[in-house]
Structure 1
Amino acid sequence: MSMQRPRPPRKNPLARTTAPLLPPATRSRAAHGLTRAAARGEFALHTCTGCGTVSYPAREACPKCLSDLVVAPVARGGTVLSITTIEISGEPYFRRLAPARQALIALDCGPTIVAEARPDCVAGMRIRASLQLDKAGQPVIYARPENGDPESDTDPHWRELVADPLHRRCLITDGRNPVTLPLAKALLGAGAAKVVVGISERWKPFADAGKLEALGAVELVDLDLADERSVAGLASDYAAKTDILVHNALHLRPGSLFSGGEVLKARDAMEVSYFGALRLAQHFGPVMRSRGADGDNSAAAWVNVLSIFAHLSWPGFAAYAATQAASLSFSQALRAEMRGSGVRVLDVFSGPMEIDWLEHLPPPKVQPAAVAHEIVAALKGGEEERWVGDVAKDFRDRFSANPKEIERDLWRQ
């Protein structure tokens, strides 16, 4: 990276922790049509169903023919018409980030917009626009040079919109998950300062332990998500040092509702996936929330690695699907709890992975390394939702269009 930010100095422990502030969060219902696109890293604007006109800002009806509007993907390109530098703002949040650059941009898809601009944008330049979620979780448009290096951002305004692992300290909660080793590699490859990996029952054989330790900036720690004392003990040492927390606990066992011992399977899965997440939230959550605006040393994101079956039960894995649904509900509650801090809560939904417990399923299946890559990409993009693999994306589209159709389709599997 030609313009990579230098590693920030360690924070003075005697210095006051900066209180989180949020940008203005008021949006109309129509404007929230852009929120889903921003959460998924897509660029979409309101488009007329009658004449095809693309409009911005959000409106209730087409400004040309008064037909209905739908949010649809549009071209990201545009040309900067002018640049304005705002030296001081009446909003306390923006006063911390002054100066700010605002660009008037003619988008290729039609409308002329005002957007935040990277410092190297100038009048007449071709730009690439993106929809981002700001610290308040609301959609905003950010512009960067069309041919610029996407990895060279030193703009503090951009860093407010993403959870880049660069120089961050990360915690992965389940070292035995097949995703953990490639995820640790991906986080370190993205510039993470340190990766702490929790492992339960370390006396049990663990093939990846040596590989994780060989990465250098990885520390293995004891963490039993089913044990309150274990979680509390780890939090006392690491909660204030965790900038990105990845909850990837995996307890996958086959069985239908009528299978023998299904209650025990469900209880074990809930202890790790849902109650484990709840324990983490109680011990890590308040500390991370208080550090959401602590400059370059701030807490940035909480990642929940989930299955697509959090949205719809999988008959052959009934207990697992139920725990995933509970974990998704937890994630939504956590996002609401974190709303005043600016800490991003990211849900990563994967289709069936290439692991031993799912070897009987036909392809396509997702490689653990692909899940790890998508997690890091979603953090860099400032997203709230990422779907991994062709199966997951097909599920997303079909579930959105007709959930009853895909429910019946799962009956046959």
Structure 2
Amino acid sequence: MTLERPKKKDPQVRTRVPTLPPEMRSRAALGLAVAAAQGRFALQHCAGCGAVQYPPRDACHVCLSDDLPWKDTHPYGVLQAETRIHASPDPYFRERLPWRMGSVKLDAGPVVMAHLVGVSRGDKVRMELRLDRAGQGVMVALPMDKDADMQDDPVLREMGTHPKHRRILISDATHPVTRPLIDALFAAGAAHVFAGVPEMWRRPHGITAIEGRENVSLLPLDVTDSHSLKEAASEIGGKVDVLINTARHIRPGGVLGHDTTAARDEMEVNALGLMRLAQAFGTGMAGRTADGVNASVAFVTILSAHALSPDPAYGAFNASQAAARSIAQTLRAEFRASGLRMGCVYTGPTDDDWHQPLPPPKVAPRALARSIVDGLQRGLEDVFCGDVARDLAERWQRDPGILEREITGGGA
């Protein structure tokens, strides 16, 4: 069934209190959540005998080896059995019954339990790992052929952060990504976009192109000014379903020769600005995560991929990005109890004036906008946009120490 646009909410009707699905998982099972957060389908593979493991475990079920690295796995199988749950003692599922579950025989070997979306017994299915509202990785069995309305399914809607029928706040309309991001959000079905403008009285560059567009509202918003954020939150705080932080201050330069005034501005916007946004809007959003079709679902911030390992040419800026990443991880923990998802979009050098000296590849604003919306549609926590970001993330996950020396020239 196609998801209908929600009617205007009756202010006298109570907002449903957020509930979460069961959170208890073993430490081994956290690998499912890590893969789901990045949009990968990964399972444990025994380094000794090659057997694929499910459920996650500490020792191979074939040879008892404890060397079980997580690897991307062929995500297809056949639905062997299904059931529809009509009663549950768990508050989360009790409010959402009936709920379909089934067992899937993976082409890779194991039989897994999965949530079912649009499939029946005997069907060939495509598997995905998704984050549920508790931030845990769960299996979802989907049809082989994608359908435009599949994201309207109640199961995926509950787990995801899809922007359809939702109201989005973009914190800084002057960022080059704003215009293509608005286009991408409306293409995905967003209902309304609020765009913050710092120092609106100056008519900053970039807002003319979006001013006057249907279902787009500009409002004064400066992430360095707590009063500005308080005013914005009092006006639209109860309407924001997804917040995308695009505020950024960047200046090239390392540490020894960098002006500390510029470094302070970078910290004020990039790190403390994120904290102020969360303080102004986060609590209200966390209280509306069970509010029907247009419940609040995601708080997203854009980070440089060098938040993982800094580039000395942009040392002070990267320090502010590392601080912002740490704040985002803390917010992820604080939002967890409500089910509000904290997303980080890591990008390589963007195609703008501040990265002119750097060689390609660079990330175009349109490509960054597509990555942000794709991450929302798939309910991801960590999105890596561009070849540079994906390469940095892969090398950082493999060995952070070696990556540091490669970036700083220590491996030359």
TM exceeds 0.5? yes
SS at match of 1:160: helix
Displacement of 1:214 in angstroms is 5.0
Is the CA contact (8 Å cut-off) linking 1:97 and 1:157 kept in structure 2? no
- Structure 2: give runs of 5+ residues left out of the alignment: none
Match of 1:408 in 2: 405
Tell me how far apart the structure 2 counterparts of residues 316 and 83 of structure 1 sit (CA, whole Å): 56
Match of 2:57 among 39, 59, 84: 59
Q: Which amino acid aligns with 1:320?
A: F
Displacement of 1:213 in angstroms is 2.5
Displacement of 1:198 in angstroms is 0.5
Summarize deviations over 1:117-136 as a string: whole Å, max 9, x none. 01x31111111110011101
Is the CA contact (8 Å cut-off) linking 1:84 and 1:103 kept in structure 2? yes
Match of 2:97 in 1: 98
Tell me how far apart the structure 2 counterparts of residues 206 and 110 of structure 1 sit (CA, whole Å): 58
SS at match of 1:213: coil
Is the CA contact (8 Å cut-off) linking 2:151 and 2:162 kept in structure 1? no
Summarize deviations over 1:5-43 as a string: whole Å, max 9, x none. 110112111111111101110110111122211100100
Match of 1:79 in 2: 78
Displacement of 1:412 in angstroms is 4.2
Match of 2:211 among 213, 230, 233: 213
Across the aligned residues of Structure 1 and Structure 2, the Cα RMSD in angstroms comes to: 1.4
Tell me how far apart the structure 2 counterparts of residues 347 and 21 of structure 1 sit (CA, whole Å): 24
Displacement of 1:224 in angstroms is 1.3
- 2:389 is the alignment partner of 1:382: no
- 2:279 is the alignment partner of 1:282: yes
Tell me how far apart the structure 1 counterparts of residues 10 and 43 of structure 2 sit (CA, whole Å): 44
Match of 2:253 in 1: 255
Q: 1:218-237 maps to which residues of 2 (within 5 A)?
A: 218-237=216-235
- 2:318 is the alignment partner of 1:321: yes
Displacement of 1:269 in angstroms is 1.1
Tell me how far apart the structure 1 counterparts of residues 149 and 156 of structure 2 sit (CA, whole Å): 11
Tell me how far apart the structure 1 counterparts of residues 235 and 161 of structure 2 sit (CA, whole Å): 23
Q: Which amino acid aligns with 1:92?
A: P
Is the CA contact (8 Å cut-off) linking 2:328 and 2:342 kept in structure 1? yes
Q: Which amino acid aligns with 1:58?
A: P
SS at match of 1:309: helix
Is the CA contact (8 Å cut-off) linking 2:119 and 2:143 kept in structure 1? yes
Match of 1:10 among 8, 17, 31: 8
Q: Which amino acid aligns with 2:340?
A: V
Summarize deviations over 1:339-388 as a string: whole Å, max 9, x none. 11111110000010111110110011111111110111111111100001
Q: 1:162 to 1:406 in 2, by over 3 A?
A: same
Q: 1:111 to 1:241 in 2, by over 3 A?
A: same
- Structure 1 consecutive aligned stretches of length 4 or more whose deviation exceeds 6 Å: none
Q: 1:356-395 maps to which residues of 2 (within 5 A)?
A: 356-395=353-392
- The share of aligned pairs that are identical, in percent, is 44
Match of 1:24 in 2: 22
Tell me how far apart the structure 2 counterparts of residues 409 and 123 of structure 1 sit (CA, whole Å): 51
Tell me how far apart the structure 2 counterparts of residues 320 and 18 of structure 1 sit (CA, whole Å): 41
- 2:269 is the alignment partner of 1:272: yes
| Higher mean C-alpha displacement, 109-118 vs 271-280 | 271-280
Tell me how far apart the structure 2 counterparts of residues 69 and 313 of structure 1 sit (CA, whole Å): 31
| Higher mean C-alpha displacement, 74-83 vs 308-317 | 308-317
Is the CA contact (8 Å cut-off) linking 1:5 and 1:154 kept in structure 2? yes
Q: 1:320 to 1:151 in 2, by over 3 A?
A: farther
Match of 1:173 in 2: 171
Displacement of 1:318 in angstroms is 1.7
Tell me how far apart the structure 1 counterparts of residues 190 and 139 of structure 2 sit (CA, whole Å): 27
Is the CA contact (8 Å cut-off) linking 1:11 and 1:297 kept in structure 2? no
Tell me how far apart the structure 2 counterparts of residues 299 and 355 of structure 1 sit (CA, whole Å): 32
Tell me how far apart the structure 1 counterparts of residues 2 and 216 of structure 2 sit (CA, whole Å): 22
Summarize deviations over 1:301-341 as a string: whole Å, max 9, x none. 00010001111222111221111011001101111111111
Tell me how far apart the structure 2 counterparts of residues 194 and 65 of structure 1 sit (CA, whole Å): 55
TM-score, length of structure 2 as denominator length: 0.96
- 2:88 is the alignment partner of 1:89: yes
- 2:392 is the alignment partner of 1:398: no
For this pair of structures, how many residues does the alignment match? 409
Displacement of 1:73 in angstroms is 0.7
Tell me how far apart the structure 2 counterparts of residues 384 and 314 of structure 1 sit (CA, whole Å): 24
TM-score, length of structure 1 as denominator length: 0.96
Q: Which amino acid aligns with 2:193?
A: V
Match of 1:305 in 2: 302
